[in-house]
Amino acid sequence: MPRRSRLHIPQHHSRPGEEPDFSYLETSPAGAVGRPDVNARVRDIGHLAVELVRVLDDDHGAAGPWHPHLDPPELQVGLRHMLLTRIFDDRMQRAQRTGKISFYMRSFGEEAVSVAQCMALRPRDMLFPSYRNQGLYVVRGKPLVELMCQLLSNTRDMCKGRQLPVMYHWKDGRIFSISGNLTTQFPQAVGWAMAAAIKGEDDIAVSWIGEGSSAEADFHHAMLFASVYQAPVILNVVNNQWAISTFQGFAGGEQRSFAARGPGYGMAGVRVDGNDFLAVYAVTQWAAERARTGAGPTLIEHVTYRGAAHSTSDDPSRYRPKDDYEKWPLGDPVERLKNHLISLGEWSEERHAALVKELEEHVLESWKEAVQYGTLTDGPRLSRDLMWEDVFKEMPEHLRKQREQLRAEQGG
């Protein structure tokens, strides 16, 4: 029989009503992957793109050459940031359900990515996030009230009512404006990094996209520019296995890891357990030093899981098993760091419960303050005149006229 070409359709392993099956996931034991010198040549470190860097083991210990040996207080801060991110997310999800905000996206299950990475970077490093990196704001200390005001599109909204909830920005905190158009930030981060190199500064740029977004041409453009100019940039692909209803096989993860695209473009690629706070921290530290010392860019793939719905508009029970997150082989990032701290004798269930309570109160207090500045449905509102500002630096005549027309139409 002659062989024929065939159209391959990536198959997910478990659908609603089925037992979650993660047998496709290839992992490495904690501590098993070597840590090369930060100046290592790309051709010599191909293993990093295939294996899975892990530090935390199943018994809550930490092992191997990637162990970052952080002090317990620093680990406690990391735990706090992850928990705060999670509690904030939960509360905002509920606010959306009650109609106070129009839309929300949680980062449940992947908090370690933003939190550990941001802690491993310097405050002057420039961040180009996706919509699922709220942990960056928590680590850099943005008051929650200010994030909430953006979600509420109220009188203190940093975006002046122009953006959908979660599309924050923070110039002083060096976090770039979030776009609804996927992957656009990737080449922009590379350009920022090229500018830093042109100016001779040692700040680096860091960007994040989801694995689904790595399909866009902008991903490839970013990789190529980063590699050609050896830009001081860290490009992160957060492989949370899902892009709305479509699993990572449809973004090309079935045949090869996302990290392996790094070496494909001539840059370092590292595949890391994204739910392992210590591993994410260590890998980021390695990549940041590499970038800062002129040894080139790094692509990091974080293997993690989107524990929640894509957004408040999504219903994952239509396309994946209900209890899949509990069965995810890499566990939960908060639980893993918590248990590690407990095993070190530096944490306890009591302290944990007290921290949760403290953070819940903090979120609640922040919310009470934020709604005083207005919500989508009631309270004070932004001036509608703001609609015409910032389209251009100076308002052209035709916009001035339209502003007058609306004033006449609505009075005031």
Partner 1 sequence: MPQMNMIQALNSAMDIMLGRDPNVVVLGEDVGYFGGVFRVTDGLQRKYGEHRVLDTPIAEGAIVGAAIGMGVNGLRPVAEVQFADYIYPACDQIFSELARLRYRSAGEFWAPVTIRTPCGGGIRGGQTHSQSPEGIFTHVCGIKVVMPSNPYDAKGLLIASIEDDDPVVFFEPKRIYNGPFDGDPNKPAVPWSTHPKGEVPDGYYTVPIGKAEVVRKGAQVTIVTYGTMVYVCEAAARSLGLDAEIIDVRTMVPLDVDTICTSVKKTGRCLIAHEATRFSGFGAELSATIQEECFWDLEAPIQRVAGWDTPYPHAFEWEYFPGPQRVAGGLKAVMETP
Q: Which residues bind ligand TPP (CB under 6 A)?
A: 132, 180-182, 209-213, 240, 242-244, 306, 310
- Distance of alpha carbon 92 from alpha carbon 101, whole angstroms: 8
Phi, psi of 190 (to 5 degrees): -65, -40
Q: Residue 93, interface with partner 1 (CB under 8 A)? A: no
Q: Which long-range contacts (CB under 8 A, 24 or more apart) does 348-355 make?
A: 355/79, 355/80, 355/83
Cβ closest to ligand TPP, residue 298 vs residue 311: 311
Cβ closest to partner 1, residue 238 vs residue 359: 238
**Among ligand TPP, Mg ion, partner 1, none, what binds residue 349 when CB lies within 5 to 8 Å by partner kind?**
none
- Distance of alpha carbon 77 from alpha carbon 80, whole angstroms: 5
CA diameter of the chain? 80
Phi, psi of 113 (to 5 degrees): -60, -60
Cβ closest to Mg ion, residue 285 vs residue 311: 311
Cβ closest to partner 1, residue 195 vs residue 399: 399
Angle at 392 between CA 389 and CA 393, to 5 degrees: 85
Q: Provide, rounded to whole angstroms, the least separation between the CB of residue 173 and partner 1.
A: 22
Element (H, E) at 286: helix 277-292
Q: Which of 51, 57, 28, 202 is nearest to 122 (CA)?
A: 202
Cα-based distances in Å from 185 to 177, 236, 300, 410: 9, 11, 16, 38
Cβ closest to ligand TPP, residue 179 vs residue 230: 179
Q: Which of 74, 53, 76 is nearest to 342 (CA)?
A: 76
Query: Taking CB positions, which residue lies at the least distance from Mg ion?
Result: 210
Pick one of 85, 133, 134, 240: the residue that binds Mg ion (CB under 5 A): 240
List the interface residues with partner 1, window 344-403 (CB under 8 A): 376, 381-382, 384, 386-388, 391, 398-399, 402
**Among partner 1, Mg ion, ligand TPP, none, what binds residue 388 when CB lies within 5 to 8 Å by partner kind?**
partner 1
Pick one of 53, 121, 215, 278: the residue that binds partner 1 (CB under 8 A): 215
Q: Residue 319, interface with partner 1 (CB under 8 A)? A: yes
> By the 8 A CB rule, do 194 and 231 touch?
yes
Tokens 């002046």 belong to which residue? Answer: 160
Q: Provide, rounded to whole angstroms, the least separation between the CB of residue 196 and ligand TPP.
A: 26
**Among ligand TPP, Mg ion, partner 1, none, what binds residue 164 when CB lies within 5 to 8 Å by partner kind?**
partner 1
**Among partner 1, ligand TPP, Mg ion, none, what binds residue 166 when CB lies within 5 to 8 Å by partner kind?**
none
Q: Residue 177, interface with partner 1 (CB under 8 A)? A: no
Helix axes 277-292, 72-97, angle to 10 degrees: 110
Cβ closest to partner 1, residue 200 vs residue 392: 392
Cβ closest to Mg ion, residue 77 vs residue 244: 244
Six-digit token string for 268: 């370092």
Pick one of 64, 78, 135, 161: the residue that binds partner 1 (CB under 8 A): 161
Q: Provide, rounded to whole angstroms, the least separation between the CB of residue 64 and ligand TPP.
A: 28
Pick one of 246, 339, 343, 372: the residue that binds partner 1 (CB under 8 A): 246
Q: Provide, rounded to whole angstroms, the least separation between the CB of residue 378 and partner 1.
A: 13
Residues that bind partner 1 (rule: CB under 8 A) add up to a total of 51
Q: Residue 243, interface with Mg ion (CB under 5 A)? A: yes
CB proximity list for 395: less than 8 A, separation 6 or greater: 388, 389, 403
- Distance of alpha carbon 119 from alpha carbon 23, whole angstroms: 32
- Distance of alpha carbon 45 from alpha carbon 29, whole angstroms: 18
Number of helices (H) and strands (E) in the chain: give both, helices first. Answer: 12, 7
Residues lying near Mg ion in the complex (CB under 5 A) are found at: 210-212, 240, 243
Residues lying near partner 1 in the complex (CB under 8 A) are found at: 7, 9, 12, 15, 102-103, 153, 157, 159-165, 167, 179-182, 212-213, 215-218, 243-246, 250-252, 313-314, 318-319, 376, 381-382, 384, 386-388, 391, 398-399, 402, 406, 409-410
